[in-house]
Amino acid sequence: MMGIQRDRVRFNVGGRTFETTSTTLANAGRNSFFGALFDGNWNLQPMNSNSDLFIDRNPDCFAVLLDLLRTGELYIPPTVPEKLLCREAQFYGVLDHVRAAKWGQFDGNRLRLSRSITGPAPGDGTAIRAGPNGGCCVAHGSMVHVYDWMMEEHPPINLDYQRVNDAGWIDSESLVISACERLGTGDGGMGLFSSSTGELRYKFQVSHDNQIKSYTAGALTFSSDYKIFSSCKGRSNEYGVGVWDQITGKQIDFFYESPGWSLGDADKLQWLNGYNCLLVATLFPRKDNCYISLLDFREKNMVWSWSDIGAPITFDEKRVRDAIAMEGSNSICVVNEYEDLGFMDLRSAAGSVRWSSRSRLMNGKMSDEPCYPKLALHDGQLFSSMSDCISVFSGPDWVLTSRLRRGQGGSICDFSIGGDRLFALHSEENVFDIWETPPTSVL
């Protein structure tokens, strides 16, 4: 675009002179301060004369960001606070570059503890959910605390100060939380919130026989075709799984639970795109037995189901504590309180758990304050939390390949993967850890 001579650019940023090339600045992309500055629309006077381009901003941060644009690597000197740097990066519109330079693409076997955040809330955490952009939200009792990727806390969220059961990110700007109902008032249920301002944007309703009912919303999940699913318990018969449209907010479906089967109490919902079905798992000890089923909403039938009703109770009492469907291998992975992994084949109707003794990691020992194990699946890697560590299983045979552990904070009560980060919430202290894959170095 510009000749060799013209390529040199001189800036005066907050009194300090910087010299660089427009090629370096072009790395910032068109949708940045620099991209617009060099657009032909703007008649850049200083380019023709010999005077500098003045920018009324912090020179120290500019130096760091200029280096980032030159090398793609972020090096923050101790004298520059990270928060300040991020603010400046946001001014120039290169915050994405900073974020990309801070941590790399997620790989369960290369995770490194980045930092731990201690929250203000008292008591045990309920759930932690990773946002799409590296932020997260933590549910404690009746409050949900929201953090952006810089771990800046946003205004907290509550739904009528009712106990929160689950939370989920629709996009980086919107959160859904599900909460218990307060008898007789219509409080609680499920609401959509702005993650940046904490404002309630919409409250989802359940109607039964054309009447709006108050209800308790439990586990949440979203599908790629913009639906929200939640397990629901209502006043009268509204036990089951409700479905809402993310765009209109209207309730579009309801799967009523059948007698002898539990759906409204479900602990875990998971939408299976390939099957066009919803996995619903209600697990011990919420109910005396475990129920796992696959629901097809088009036909309103349960296309696959498993329950441990009538199964002989063994001496070590293997009860399923979490379940996750793995569409790639047409199976469901389950875990018990000893962190034994078990597998069920989705293709055979009469499912039975094939426990994998190979993965018996705890040798039957229980920690002092038990936390139920949780499962997560990401890019072909299976994650399982137990006590104060998270095990990573890789490959088609789910070999244990890594273990994430941090000394303090007690047992991990929940964890979540998203935005190329893993967040682990501890139960003893109100603290959560952020695990990241380090960016690949140029050296």
Partner 1 sequence: MSNPQKKRNFQIEAFKHKVVVDPKYADKTWKILEHAIHEIYNHNASGLSFEELYRNAYNMVLHKFGEKLYTGLVTTMTAHLKEISKSIEDAQGGLFLEELNRKWNDHNKALQMIRDILMYMDRTFIQSARKTPVHELGLILWRDNVIYSSKIRTRLLDTLLELVLRERTGEVINRGLMRNIIKMLMDLGSSVYQEEFEQPFLEVSAEFYKGESQKFIECCDCGEYLKKAERRLNEEMERVTHYLDAKSEAKITNVVEKEMIANHMLALVHMENSGLVNMLLDDKYEDLGRMYNLFRRVSSGLSTVRDVMTSHIREIGKQLVTDPERLKDPVEFVQRLLDEKDKYDKIISSAFNNDKTFQNALNSSFEYFINLNARSPEFISLFVDDKLRKGLKGVSEEDVEVILDKVMMLFRYLQEKDVFEKYYKQHLAKRLLSGKTVSDDAERSLIVKLKTECGYQFTSKLEGMFTDMKTSQDTMQGFYASHPELGEGPTLTVQVLTTGSWPTQPSVTCNLPAEMSALCEKFRSYYLGTHTGRRLSWQTNMGTADIKATFGKGQKHELNVSTYQMCVLMLFNNSDRLSYKEIEQATEIPASDLKRCLQSLACVKGKNVLRKEPMSKDIGEDDAFFVNDKFTSKFYKVKIGTVVAQKESEPEKQETRQRVEEDRKPQIEAAIVRIMKSRKVLDHNNIITEVTKQLQSRFLANPTEIKKRIESLIERDFLERDNVDRKLYRYLA
Among 23, 197, 301, 440, binds partner 1 (CB under 8 A): 197
Binding string to partner 1 for residues 72 to 91, with x set by CB under 8 A, is what? Answer: ------------------xx
* Cα 393-99-145 angle, rounded to 5 deg: 75
Among 39, 82, 316, 379, binds partner 1 (CB under 8 A): 39
385: which residues sit within 8 A by CB, 6+ positions away?
A: 371, 373, 374, 391, 412, 414, 415, 424
Among 160, 173, 253, 428, binds partner 1 (CB under 8 A): 173
Beginning with the edge strand found earlier in the chain, give each strand of the sheet holding 240-245 in spatial order.
215-223, 227-234, 240-245, 251-256
**Distance, C-alpha 386 to centroid of its chain:** 19
Residue 101, φ and ψ in degrees, nearest 5: -80, -20
| Distance in Å, CB of 33 to partner 1, minimum | 6
Among 37, 101, 302, 326, binds partner 1 (CB under 8 A): 37
| Distance in Å, CB of 71 to partner 1, minimum | 24
Rule CB under 8 A: say whether 400 interacts with partner 1: no
Spatial CA neighbour of 435 closest among 139, 54, 136: 136
The residue (of 58 and 359) whose beta carbon lies closer to partner 1 is 58
Rule CB under 8 A: say whether 36 interacts with partner 1: yes
Among 194, 276, 329, 356, binds partner 1 (CB under 8 A): 194
Report the relative pairing of strands 200-204 and 153-158 from DSSP bridges. unpaired
Rule CB under 8 A: say whether 42 interacts with partner 1: yes
The residue (of 53 and 362) whose beta carbon lies closer to partner 1 is 53
The residue (of 94 and 292) whose beta carbon lies closer to partner 1 is 94
**Distance, C-alpha 259 to centroid of its chain:** 34
Please identify, among the stretches 29-37, 110-118, 251-259, 424-432, the one whose residues bind partner 1 according to the rule CB under 8 A.
29-37
By CB under 8 A, what part of segment 88-107 binds partner 1?
90-91, 93
Q: Which residues are near partner 1 by CB under 8 A?
A: 31-33, 36-37, 39, 41-44, 53-56, 90-91, 93, 173, 194, 196-197
